[in-house]
Chains A and B, each alone.
Chain A
């Protein structure tokens, strides 16, 4: 006994299979299939191994990867900084689809929070460096809300222009406001406590502990963002990115979730800024130009907007290449520009533009489908029997 609905389902399934065959396989399809085929514990195992490898990187200093002329652990810190920034910006640009060109502003605010509350040059009250990390997140998150409240009613290009302005405003404020010390900046920014053989662990010349700190922060942030992604919140962001009006009509409070995306993105940017300030031990107004903001966007787009791993890898690559190939350092904007144009043409989803899973228990779909089918069969059998 087949209902007409099942008939049409069958015929359309057939048509869809044919359409499927004509689709081109993507470069990383094999990798993705392998990954999706793994059971959850196996995935964790692979991720664990990758993490161990990453922690070992500054000690291994692999010959091909190493950076001639630059201290490798310090380079790794810079890569990690970009990766963390890209992770935060990915929430705003990649997931919620809000083009934010002034992300450097949040990064700057985070840096200045760390500087103001720990530097010996600052007249503010001093707190331990590690306490500035959550403080930086709170302050930048608050700045995100303040910026987002009036501007998130704008869409697309208009929002991009306003955020671009915001980035510049923060940089100019750092120049104008005397307390922020403009070009002179703040020296002797604090660092986490701890000593090894009588010498402090965290110094501005030794990148390794800082890299480990960065990496730990990145892992924690990734796990938390993963939780958000596979929840009502992550789905709301993607829905907003795909079709904001339809999302609103489907009951998504779009403004609220856009504001959340903005706030969370800002907080992660601020966190990265505070870590950066501690690592290089010096903050002034020269490091927060618009070009760097564009580099952040380039990192996210290059890696694959919407995918947190892609964005992180994109961030690391953007930071790494100028160090590895010293001759491109002064032409990096030109080269990244050309690369971006090529990507837009040949791989608009970015290098690792894999889609995210948005359901926390998505793996039980098949089981659920089988159960429904069995139930249908059982019912049909029951009817025939009766």
Chain B
């Protein structure tokens, strides 16, 4: 919060120390004042799972400080009877669930269950046939995709879709631009607002890259980045739009177990920083390990909505994943 106001990278030496000391207190104050004892700030930094020192200035800058109308633990997003039909095929059939502020909600299901369709319907890529998606009580129906992003949904893509010819930092700044106001005329004449926004973009963008752990390659073209970096860059770019809800579409696809561990840690850190996360993932271990609550889809229908432990023992979920003998064999994925 404090770092937002500071956009003069020039005179650093004396103030640097002051900031180094103050950050720790600041983050303590923060957790004390706005969310003490709530699940959002549940995992303290000395938890073995959380990455120990994702350095604090980066975390400070990245920290979610937008006005969110609902309190931690209340419904941030409400999805009601969401239906998507493609011709005769019902990809999503009257799905209803809530996403509470400050939680990590897992969305799982066998292949073709409608997870990504649900994502796309929420973020405006598909027009839902019927049903509503509301964010903080406001319906998102009929809004353009970029408006939905500015309203507070951000997403990553299952198949990485970065801007290949832009550097990592520029990719993130495109995300930051979602909150910028500079007009074409303002950019043309380099208005004070433009200059201010450009300067904070560098600071903010670098902090985001640092936060997801790829700041060392900030100046590299996105298409030249290693796979793991590209996945993380997608997350950083989505975070840059200052989302109220961050939707991750299979962020661990193609990761080895060690990388998945690190990703879980990162997702938790993101949540601890005040974001709400919706996670689509195939990897059961990751989903069970990181989610606070899980929604299970099968054939476009919701079959379960519970905490991970209960989901693990839910017979319908087991049937969906492993198949049952009475049903036809196609049910098994």
Contact = CB atoms under 8 A, between A and B. Distances in A.
Co-assembled chains A and B: yes
A1 interface: yes
Nearest to B201: A359
A157 interface: no
B295 interface: no
Interface in B200-248: 201-203, 206-207, 210, 212-221, 224-226, 228-229, 237-238, 241
A382 B20 contact: yes
Given A369-B215, A372-B215, A378 B17 contact: yes
B328 interface: no
Contacts of B165: 238, 241-242, 306, 355
A6 B213 contact: yes
A379 B56 contact: yes
Interface stretch (A13-21, A110-118, A172-180, A191-199): A13-21
A380 interface: yes
Contacts, number: 218
Interface string A374-385: 111011101100
A16 to B, nearest CB: 5
A198 B306 CA distance: 91
A367 interface: yes
Interface stretch (B34-42, B168-176, B310-318): B168-176
A359 B198 contact: yes
Nearest to A229: B187
Most B Cβ at <10 Å: residue of A230, A368, A380: A368
Contacts of A20: 224
A4 B226 contact: no
Interface in A241-265: 241-243, 245-254, 260, 264
A3 interface: yes
A201 interface: no
Nearest to A5: B213
| Residue with the highest number of chain A CB atoms closer than 10 Å, among B12, B165, B259 | B165
A160 interface: no
Contacts of B188: 224, 227-228
Given A4-B265, A249-B145, A361-B199, A236 B217 contact: no
A263 to B, nearest CB: 9
Contacts of B258: 4, 8
B117 interface: no
A12 interface: yes
Contacts of A203: none
Interface stretch (B86-94, B127-135, B155-163, B275-283): B155-163
A364 B9 contact: yes
Given A19-B224, A228-B184, A375-B55, A249 B173 contact: no
Contact of A227 (B146, B190, B221, B238): B190
Contacts of A230: 198
A228 B161 contact: no
Contacts of B225: 16
A379 B182 contact: no
A217 interface: no
Contacts of A12: 226, 228-229
Given A1-B53, A3-B52, A375-B16, A362 B262 contact: no
A251 B242 CA distance: 11
Nearest to A224: B188
Nearest to A349: B165
B187 A242 contact: no
Contacts of A6: 213
Given A246-B161, A365-B219, A369-B215, A251 B241 contact: yes
Nearest to A249: B145
B53 A8 contact: no
B55 A249 contact: no
A383 B23 CA distance: 12
B253 interface: no
A375 B52 contact: no
B55 A376 contact: yes
A306 B52 CA distance: 43
Contacts of B17: 378
B218 A251 contact: no
A378 B20 contact: yes
A224 B187 CA distance: 9
Given A227-B188, A233-B187, A379 B24 contact: yes
A146 interface: no
A233 B187 CA distance: 7
B166 A252 contact: no
Contacts of A239: 163, 166, 174
Contacts of A233: 182, 184, 187
A371 B182 contact: no
A238 B56 contact: no
A250 B178 contact: yes
B158 to A, nearest CB: 12
A235 interface: yes
Contacts of A378: 16-17, 20
B29 interface: no
B174 A379 contact: no
Contacts of B179: 251
Contact of A232 (B182, B189, B202): B182
Given A5-B54, A249-B149, 15 more contacts: A3-B52, A4-B258, A4-B265, A9-B216, A232-B197, A235-B174, A248-B145, A251-B146, A251-B177, A358-B173, A359-B170, A362-B202, A365-B206, A368-B203, A371-B16
27 contacts: A3-B53, A5-B212, A8-B213, A8-B259, A15-B226, A16-B229, A20-B224, A227-B190, A231-B194, A231-B198, A241-B165, A242-B164, A243-B162, A249-B149, A252-B146, A252-B177, A254-B146, A306-B165, A358-B166, A359-B201, A360-B195, A362-B169, A368-B202, A372-B206, A375-B58, A376-B58, A376-B210
Interface of B: 9, 12, 16-17, 19-21, 23-24, 51-58, 123, 125, 144-146, 149-150, 154-155, 157, 161-167, 169-170, 173-175, 177-180, 182, 184, 187-190, 194-195, 197-199, 201-203, 206-207, 210, 212-221, 224-226, 228-229, 237-238, 241, 258-259, 261-262, 265-266
Closest 3 CB pairs of A and B: A251-B178, A376-B55, A231-B187
